[in-house]
Amino acid sequence: MSTPTATQTPTPRQTGSGLRQQFLDVFEKEHATTMRVLRAYPTDRLDLKPHAMCKDARTLAWMFAAEPAMMERTLTTGLDFSKAPSRPPAPDSFDAVLSAIEDGHQRVVRIVRNMRDEELHDTLKFFVAPKTIGDIEKGQFLWMLLHDQIHHRGQFSIYLRMAGGKVPSIYGPTADEPWM
């Protein structure tokens, strides 16, 4: 059996891990990559808004704090779908945004770490289609929000390039961080 390198995510066969640990391994790796992208952003360009229908960079970055908060609420108390979601506005300080992202990430890690693998098959109520609430397994919910964060990181990497920042390696080399 091969041993993964520092840049590879270990496979379940290599770690002998269960569903929960598989998620946590990828969640931690993707979080570290996201934080590299966010930290590369020039803070004097947080008002960048590439299109009228786009969020500005600060608000898009704040999504990375909002999603762990949603994960935490959904896994602990559930969401109240009778009320419109309320999201506090992004702080003025980008350091405060980054700190909130780190704090939220660590809270989710603690919650998932304290779950049993079997609990990932329990269901919760969440959106399954536009304007449609249904049952979704907790594990599927976690992976869906992680993929959504990866999607937003892709958006943010475009903002980063437009703002004149250097785009770090995400899944491979970039013009700013070649591998060879």
List the domain boundaries for the chain.
17-162
pTM: 0.87
Burial label for 13, CB within 10 Å (0-12, 13-18, 19+), is: exposed
Q: Supply the pLDDT for residue 86.
A: 78
Q: How much is the pLDDT for 122? A: 92
Average pLDDT, the chain: 90
CA atoms of 178 and 168, how far apart (whole Å) = 9
Q: Which CATH superfamily is domain 17-162 in?
A: dinb family like domain (1.20.120.450)
Whole-number pLDDT of residue 6: 54
70-98 per-position pLDDT tens digit: 999 888 988 887 777 778 899 999 999 99
Q: What is the CA radius of gyration of the chain?
A: 17
